[in-house]
Every structure is written in structure tokens, then in C-alpha cells.
Chains A and B, each alone.
Chain A
Amino acid sequence: MKLKTALLGAATAVALSGVTAQAERGADGHLNIIYWQAASILNPFLSGGTKDTEASSMVIEPLARYDEQGNMLPWLVDEIPTVANGGISEDLTTITWKLTPGIKWSDGSDFTAADVVFTGEYCMHPEGGCQQESKFAGVKNVEALDDLTVKITFDGPKPFPYAPFVGVESPIIQAAQFANCLGADAPNCTEANFGPHGTGPFRVTEFKANDVISYEANPHYRDPAKPAFATATFKGGGDAAAAARSVLETGEFDYAWNLQIDPTILTQMAGAGKGTVVSSFGTSVERLMVNLSNPDAALGDKRSTLEGGPHPFLTDPIVRTALSKAIDRALVSEVGYGAAGKPTCNVLPAPAIYASTANDACLGQDIAGANAMLEGAGWVKGADGIRAKDGVRLSILYQTSTNAVRQDTQALLKQWWSEIGVETELKNVDAGVFFGGDQSSPDTYQKLFADIEMYTNNFAGTDPEAYMGNWVCDEIPMPSNNWLGSNMPRYCDPAYDALAAKMGQTSALEERAELAKAMNDMLMQAGAMIPLVHRGDVSAHSNTLNGVKMNSWDSELWNVADWTRAD
């Protein structure tokens, strides 16, 4: 380790290695982190990219964050406000946070309620282009009651008021540093955006955009014994395979993020014995979106809209169920995702309290059953082996983004569906175009000019309310809303909308969980979406690094202050 640190150009004195004092700040020398997507900026309000928010999470912190189980932890406060402890008003319209006294910014000044108020003002400024604005949705006012008390008022009852200032995407920035960066001036504060002052365990010493960040331990960090590392490097560039290699094979780096590579290669690399692959499961689900509207090109402007009428055969629940039954999700998961996936039958698979078990029957593949269902419903095989009814053939255009794993999955599904007499045409679209949201392109995932499309979606944090709200009638993408909407299946059920509305008025966690499960089950039984794989995050850390707790609910670096070097 001594040699490696020296070779890697660590700024730290090599002599420190060998000292075993666990409870001493900076005792463990240098920490090397590689994120193959390089960080562009350290202000998460100006870049929603995961790489940027995670890089900034070593420096700036929210009032509360989530641990690796998805539980909320008080971070810069003493306790999480609830209705029970009086932190949330009875009418659910206000939440009051009490900051822990004595916290200092990395420049030595005091962390106060004014900073929190300023952060709210910064992100809610109409011209700022704040990328985390949705965290502040419904916030009417943020005020400082005193130096250590912040009161947030919502414009209506907010059953889950933990969006602002909670989690990696909503940290607190220093008022003094960003005072001149409000609104349209936000992008011009390069220096502040590249080196924000924070309350976290590290502070920035050098920022090279899209390349590398150098940190050193924050001398004003609240725990005098932490962090264990005196300095840290956050390197970017290359690709996931190279990042994995640098931790697992060459041992040049201590931590590598987001190793979405062929699972067999990852296993092989881990065999070198220098590092460990770790995974955790958040809310990402690879799913099929079933188009319930008609994507026929002949409909012109009404294509894939409600006005265009229902889909000729996908509106038949038997067909949707049969398609789902024909899939061997375990195989899809194993082939494409390895350690980073597990089969799922829910579009809301986590956190555990929200996960339904009502649909688990889909885990087993049942081609015979699917065939029988279709046969029974009058879909009979024609001369070409494709089932048809009343002149409607079961022929599917199945699109997704260009990505090796997705194309493998497409091929598997096409095979299984052919076994139940369904013809499948495969299409893949460059990810930039598919997810790009370009109004002029016919290939975006919102337009869904296809019968079925496949991609992954998830939600940040642990509360599924907004996520489950994706499938209410108002969210259907259509020309009148510039195709901006997240209800890709064009699913519209007043009963579902009613559940969604009810969740918006319920505060108690258990009740919310029941509602979420019910909504999930509705969607699953309607077959509007066919979930395939619950996708996890895969990272790797060196065997010489202790304390890593993979976290899908917050920054993977959420507890970097506790990381230490194993000897």
C-alpha cells in the first residue's frame, strides 16, 4: 500500500501509513475514488447528474439523509420532525427543523438557519434553472425562526414533507458564498460552483471540470476524529470496465462507482482478489411499457394519443397477461444484470414496506399457460404461426434504447413471445434520442410510436408518492402538453387517480404503504406495465477500504466520513 500511494502521487506524507490510530482525522492518508462519468460541477442545483450530486455529497450535506436501508437519519439536525414530536403541524402544512448547534462551514463560519433559508430561495428562484426544483414543489415559504430553527410552510397539506433539504439532491449551500449567485447569475459563479463551502467531511482543494477533484479533510468538520482520510481524489473519465479494472485488478483506486458491465467480466475481475463488488437495490425497475393507445402511423397527429383510440389488441388484458407469463424473468436478470439485478413482478419493489407480494406468481415462466389463455380468448394461430382474432394479428413493435443488455433482453423476449404465437419486431434507438425529449423526433420514449417499449425508471429518496403519481390520467403525454408526461402506457383509471389523490392527504407511514401497494397492484393486474428486473447499483471497493455501505437511497458516498483504511 505504501508504494501504491506514493506511485499514485498522493499528496499525503507516506509516513502516515502504519499508524493505526483509528480515531484521528487524516490518519489514513489518501483516498482514491473513480467515477467513470466525470463530475462537471459541484453545485447539485445546477446539475442533476448523479456523478455531480455524489461528488458534491462529500462536501455539502442535507438536513437529513437516508441510510443504506432507506431509513431517514437526522444529519444536521437532532431529530426528524414528525407530527408526533410536534415538528409537523397537525394540518400537515408546515415542518420545523431544529439544527444541531455548533456545526461550522468549512471556512470556519457558523452554519445557521439563514443558510437553509437561502438555499430554498436559491433553488426556487424562477430564473435560476434549478435542477432540483421538484424537491421544493408546493413550498410556500422557508423562514428562519431563529439561528437554529427553520420552518417550511407548504401551500397545502403535505403528508410527506421530507423533500426539501433531505437527501443527496437537496443539500444546504452557504448563503455567504452564493449570495450573488441568485437567479440568472447562478451560472456565472464558477468559483462557488466549483468549490462550494460545505459542512461535510471534505472540502475542495482543486476542481478540474469533467476530470478530477482533489479534496482534503475539512478542518471544521463536526466530528474531530473524522474523516480518517487526509486527502481524497475523485477521478473521472474512461468507462465502467476501466473503472472496475482500476479497483479490482490494478488496485490503483479504492472505490469505483456504477459498474454496469457484463456480469461475467465483473466476476472475473473480482477474482484478482484486490477488491470486492458490492451492490444494493433501490427503486430502479426495468419494465415494459405497454401502449394502450393506438400507435398506427395512419392516424397521423393522433398516433399514440387517447384521441387515436384504443390499441387494437393490447387493450385485451388476456394478451397483456399472456405476454407477461411467457417471460422468464430470472433468466433475463441473470443474463443481463448478474449481481445487479433480481427478477421482480412489481413496478414499486422497494423500500421493503412498499413492496407488494400480490403479483409474485409472474416470477415463474408459463408458456403453456399463456398459450392456453390466448387460445381460450379466441386468439388462434394462423398459417404463419401468429395468433389472430377478428383479423387482428398479434404483431408487436418493441422498442428500447441502444444498449447491449437491452438488445439481449429484446432477443430473449422475442423468442418467448414467438412461442406463444406473437410476432415481434425489434427496434432500438440511440439513448440520446430515445430519452432526449426532442419534440421533432418520432423516436422518443414519451411519444411511444410503438406497441411496447422498455426502459428503467426509478425514484429518488424513499417516498413513492410522486412516482406512483406518474400513472394518473393527467400525466399522459400528448401533443397538447408537448409530450411531456410520464404516463407512457396512457393508462387512465379514475379509481387509480382516486388512490393517488388519497395518498396525497395521508401522512401516516403505514397507511401510505398500503395505498402504494394497492396502486402498484392495480397497475400490475391491469398489465399496463410488465416489470422485468429490479435493478441494483453495483460498485466496487478495494479490500483495503473499510466502512463502505452501499446505499441506493442517497449518495453512495453518504458515509465517507466513516471510511477507513484497513491495514
Chain B
Amino acid sequence: MLNYTIRRLMFTIPVLLFISFIIFLLLDLAPNDPTGNLPMTIPPEVREKIRESLGLGQPIHVRYFKWCVQFFVNEPLNIIDQMFGTCTWGCEDRLRVQSWATRSPVVDLIVERMPQTLWVVGMSYVVGILIAIPIGVISAYRQYSWFDQAGTFVSMVGFSVPTFFTGVLMIVIFSVMIPTDSWFWFPSIYDTTHKVTDLASFGFQIRQMAMPVFVLALYNAAQISRFMRASMLDNLNQDYVRTARAKGMRERVVLLVHVLRNSLIPVVTVIALGVPQVFGGAIITEQVFKVNGLGQLLIIGIQGADIPLVQTLTFIFAVLIVLFNLIADILYGILDPRIRYD
């Protein structure tokens, strides 16, 4: 397994380099202009100077090489320096990946966005999973019961109704229609400056997370519960389940130990594959509730043609996707003794 992991990791290096180059090319070919969003009162010759100062005048391979050096060498060195308070060679004038719009290091922006994305999107993923698994198990065990039918309906709704609709619906109900001083009132705008220091502020944090988490959790749960149900149904009809019943095991043991554990194998890998999406943020939901996490950062970057930001963020997502694919494969190997990697 270790050899397998190392081999796979080695393979990912050329893959990721290739991906980074493709992203770079795509962004370069895309018709966007970092000065495009500036007011039209700024004259064209000033725009040209701005583009020059951003380094857009250089040929593409030079710009790609610069980005590679900045991202693969300078940024890791900077992290090391920050962790140990050291100053490895050239820390004074080391060029980091700079966002064009904010003129600040992209990695710092990403680090700043991480908490709210993980809090909201990550929590919604966890909540979604926690809701989805019992629903999937019961739906499969009581196939075609009213519970199953209701679960199917809710999943269909969760799947098909977009989050910008459910999100705005929630805001209209819980932020607009309910009076502000009611206990049922929830803030429609996420306060990213809020700091949890005591019980009351923790309570507020829960309140401001409630709506975005619910909206996203519904969506996540819809997907995962379908997976869970299908996987459970596959396993419920297996012979070993009959064996377990013939052994005289309690139904709970049959269901939770025998069927659930086997059914979770594919579901766990699906969950692992979905984790990069958590880091990617939920672009729409973040916009609706003004969570301003990584998804919103990416969108602003795209809108403003902030190419270094988009490049870096997209590449980090690519790394996460490749990494979690590997993790999913390894998890599969760990969970299913029939799978062996050598």
C-alpha cells in the first residue's frame, strides 16, 4: 500500500504540472482584461500602462515560468519562513504570487478565506452526510415505504431546486418576513469579522451559519442519501446478509454491522471525492449569504480578470482533486479487503 501510494504520488507530479500549464494557457487565451472593469473614465493609454505594470507585456512562457517559480519555490519557502520565523535565502525580495486586483499575495488571501469556507461549506457537508446516511439506510431497508417515498421526494427537491432559489427563499422567510426581534429571525448576511469568544458569540455564529449550512446540507444530503440507498439495496440482497440472519444475529447487527459497513465502502469514496468541492466553496450559496469564502474569491477573480489569483486557486483545486482521488482509492483499499494495491 505504501509503495502504491508513493508511486501514485510520483505520478501526480507531471500530471499537476501539465494541469497548471493547461490552466495557464486557458486563462491566457480567455478574452479578459484586468482593466476591463475599471470605470470608462480611465483613458486607454493609462490602461495600457497598467497592463504593462502587471507584466502582461512579457511572452507567455516567461510568465508561466515566473508563476511556477513563485508558486512552487517561493511560496513554500515563505511558509517555512513563517512557521519557523527564519529567513532563508532571499526572503527580503522574494516574489510571491501577487493578485492583480488586491496587490497582495494570493496565498494570504486564500488563507484568510479558509475559515469561513470550512465553517460553512465544510459544516454543511458534515451535516449533509449525517442526515444522508440514516435516510439512505432507512429508505433502503424499508424500500417503497412512505418514508422511502418521502425521502425520494426530498432528494429530488434537493437535487433539482437550485441553491440560489432555496437560499433566497430562506432569506425571505427567516430574514424578511420574520420580525428582527423574533427568536426565529436569522441574519441574511454572514459576518466574516465575527469572532467566537464566549457562549453568546458562539450562539450568534451558529445563527449566522444556520441558513447557508441548511441550504447546502439539503443539496449534499440529497446526493449522498441516494448513493447510500442504492448501495444498501445492493447489499441487502446479498447472500451474506441471509447468512447473518441464519446465524441468528439481531436485525440491528445484520443491518449496521453487515450491510451498512459493506454499503459504506462506495459511499465513503464518493464522500472523499466530494471533499475538494468543500474547499472550492459553494460559489452560489456563498454569494447568496455573502459568506465570502473561496468560491466568492474565485468568482471575483474571474470577474476582475485577476489571472494570478484564478490560476493559483484553480490549480490548488486541481491539486485537491488529484489528492482526494488518491485518498479515495486508498480508502477503498483499506475498507475493502478484496482490493489490493501492490
Contacts and interface: CB of A to CB of B under 8 A. Distances in A.
A38 B171 contact: no
Contacts of A206: 193
Given A210-B292, A238-B288, A251-B180, A8 B187 contact: yes
B54 to A, nearest CB: 7
Contacts of A212: 191-193, 292
Which among B40, B42, B113, B171 has the highest number of chain A CB atoms within 10 Å? B40
Contact of A127 (B53, B105, B286): B53
Nearest to A137: B43
B101 A210 contact: yes
Nearest to B200: A6
A129 B39 CA distance: 16
A184 interface: yes
Interface string B272-305: 0000000000000011111110001100100111
A128 B53 contact: yes
A133 to B, nearest CB: 5
A208 B41 contact: no
Given A41-B101, A249-B176, A458 B40 contact: yes
Nearest to A133: B46
A438 B47 CA distance: 12
A208 B193 contact: yes
B145 interface: no
B104 A190 contact: yes
Contact of B188 (A130, A193, A245, A435): A245
B176 to A, nearest CB: 4
A3 B305 CA distance: 41
A19 B207 CA distance: 29
B225 to A, nearest CB: 30
A237 B50 CA distance: 25
Interface string A215-249: 00000000000000000010111110010011001
Given A129-B50, A186-B103, A209 B112 contact: yes
B39 A460 contact: yes
Contacts of A194: 102, 104
A236 B108 CA distance: 18
Contacts of A264: none
A186 B40 CA distance: 23
A210 B39 contact: no
Nearest to A1: B180
Contacts of B52: 129
Interface residues of B, number: 62
B189 interface: yes
Given A194-B104, A246-B189, A432 B36 contact: yes
B38 interface: yes
B103 A7 contact: no
Interface stretch (B27-35, B243-251, B330-338): B27-35
B31 A460 contact: no
A154 B215 CA distance: 59
Contacts of B32: 432, 436, 438
B124 interface: no
- Most B-side CB within 10 Å, residue of A208, A214, A239, A250: A250
A233 B288 CA distance: 19
B194 A9 contact: yes
B39 A48 contact: yes
A38 B300 contact: yes
Chain A: number of interface residues, binned into ranges: 35 or more
A93 interface: no
B239 interface: no
Interface of A is mostly: loop
A529 to B, nearest CB: 14
Contacts of A484: 44-45, 47-48
A482 B44 CA distance: 10
A458 B40 CA distance: 7
Tell me which of B31, B103, B289 has the highest count of chain A C-beta atoms within 10 A of its own C-beta.
Answer: B103
A187 B98 contact: yes
Interface majority SS on B: helix, strand, loop or mixed?
A: loop
A135 B38 CA distance: 15
A49 interface: yes
Nearest to B303: A432
Interface in B93-113: 98-99, 101-105, 108-109, 112-113
Interface string A473-515: 0000000001011100000000000000000000000000000
A433 interface: yes
B204 to A, nearest CB: 6
B288 A242 contact: yes
B198 interface: no
A71 interface: no
A7 B187 contact: yes
B290 A209 contact: no
B39 A34 contact: no
A209 B171 contact: no
Interface string B80-104: 0000000000000000001101111
A563 interface: no
Given A40-B304, A245-B188, A459 B47 contact: no
A34 B40 CA distance: 23
B103 A250 contact: no
Contacts of A128: 53
Interface string A42-63: 0100111110000000000000
B109 A184 contact: no
A415 interface: no
Contacts of B194: 9
A253 interface: yes
B46 A237 contact: no
A24 to B, nearest CB: 25
B101 A47 contact: yes
Given A238-B287, A238-B290, A209 B39 contact: no
A41 B204 contact: no
B41 to A, nearest CB: 5
A275 to B, nearest CB: 13
A437 B44 contact: yes
Interface string A253-283: 1000000000000000000100000000000
30 contacts: A4-B180, A7-B185, A34-B189, A40-B99, A46-B103, A50-B39, A127-B53, A129-B54, A134-B46, A187-B98, A209-B102, A209-B104, A209-B109, A210-B109, A211-B112, A214-B193, A233-B193, A237-B296, A238-B290, A245-B175, A250-B171, A252-B188, A252-B189, A438-B31, A438-B32, A441-B31, A458-B39, A459-B41, A484-B48, A485-B44
Interface of A: 3-4, 7-9, 34, 38, 40-41, 43, 46-50, 127-134, 184, 186-190, 193-194, 206, 208-212, 214, 233, 235-239, 242, 245-246, 249-253, 272, 432-433, 435-438, 440-441, 457-460, 482, 484-486
Given A7-B185, A7-B207, 5 more contacts: A129-B54, A187-B53, A246-B188, A438-B31, A485-B44
